[in-house]
Amino acid sequence: MFLAAVTDTLAQIGNPTPEAPPLSNKILQLVSYLTWFILLSGIIAITVAGGKFAWEKWTGSSMESPKMVAGAMIGGVVATSAGTIMNAML
């Protein structure tokens, strides 16, 4: 008897449709701004490292800039693939 009453009650509960939180548009806009900032800073980092690489080559000093170029490129790959990685995890 009790089980039938519980089953009838649960059968009346509908399947709720998901809806976005109240500030989700602002958060998505902030994330897109941060993405553009990260990409812009990566381009600037690669440009600066390339200039430093040319300067080191021209003056004959120690070559530290290839590490900077590699770091900037790895950082760019991680930054651009972060969204894909998060979508795959979710």
pTM of the model: 0.58
Enumerate the domain spans of the chain: 39-89
pLDDT per residue, tens digit, the chain (90 aa), is 666 766 666 666 666 777 888 888 888 888 888 888 888 888 888 888 888 888 888 888 777 777 878 888 888 788 778 777 777 776
Q: How far apart are CA 80 and CA 77, in angstroms?
A: 5
